[in-house]
Amino acid sequence: MRALALVVVAALVQPAMIQPAAAQDLRTPDQITGADDAARSAALFVEMGKVLTHPRCLNCHPVTGGPTQGDDMRAHNPPVVRGEADFGPAGMTCNTCHGTRNVSFATQPASIPGHEAWALAPVSMGWQGRSLAEICAQIKDPARNGGKDLEAIHAHNAEDGLVGWGWDPGQGRPPAPGSQEVFGQLTRAWIDTGAACPG
């Protein structure tokens, strides 16, 4: 009887145990302090890093090769390469499989992700395997961020629909932590305190 009770309890707590740590909410800017603006700014970017280094972002920001997939960031299946304009190879572009929205499978709790602008980030914007300090420097550099100034970075983080997909990734995928709204607020506060990078 005791063994059966343990099995029932284990079954009841299992869903909570498999919830990824990254699903915890982001702190809001007013919850982040620092000794001065530069220290607070760097701390704000560290909080932003919970999103930037989450698999929902990293899978589409590879440094080399094609996209990865899943929380374990395994190679994309079927195998694909970046191709022209970061949209996959001729004859098998991203929209061959990825439509304008997520499509749930009928037989299992999973889905094919989708969004109107589904494509890889350009090579210059790849940051898999890089430190937060390296990602920060890259994001601030117009030569490596698609020609964006800080205000355009804020608009991208706070309003871009493809960025927003990270919080609505379809069945079978945990979303990025927090919300796009909080991510945008963090970006705004990071810029307003000097856009400092963590050490």
Q: Which residue has the tokens 């061959």?
A: 96
β-pairing, 68-69 vs 74-75, is antiparallel
Sequence-distant (6+) residues with CB within 8 A of 185 are 28, 29, 158
Q: What pTM did the predictor assign? A: 0.85
pLDDT tens track of the chain, all 199 residues? 333 333 332 222 222 222 333 446 899 999 999 999 999 999 999 999 999 999 999 999 999 889 999 999 999 999 988 888 888 888 888 999 999 999 999 999 999 999 998 999 999 999 999 999 999 999 999 999 999 999 999 999 999 999 999 999 999 999 999 999 999 999 999 999 999 999 9
Q: Where are the domains of the chain?
A: 33-192
Q: Can you give the pLDDT at residue 24?
A: 60
Q: Can you give the pLDDT at residue 84?
A: 80
What count of other Cβ atoms lies within 10 Å of the Cβ of residue 146?
13
Q: CB burial class (10 A; 0-12, 13-18, 19+) of residue 28?
A: middle
Length of the chain: 199
- Per residue in 180-197, pLDDT (tens digit) is 999 999 999 999 999 999
Q: Can you give the pLDDT at residue 5?
A: 35
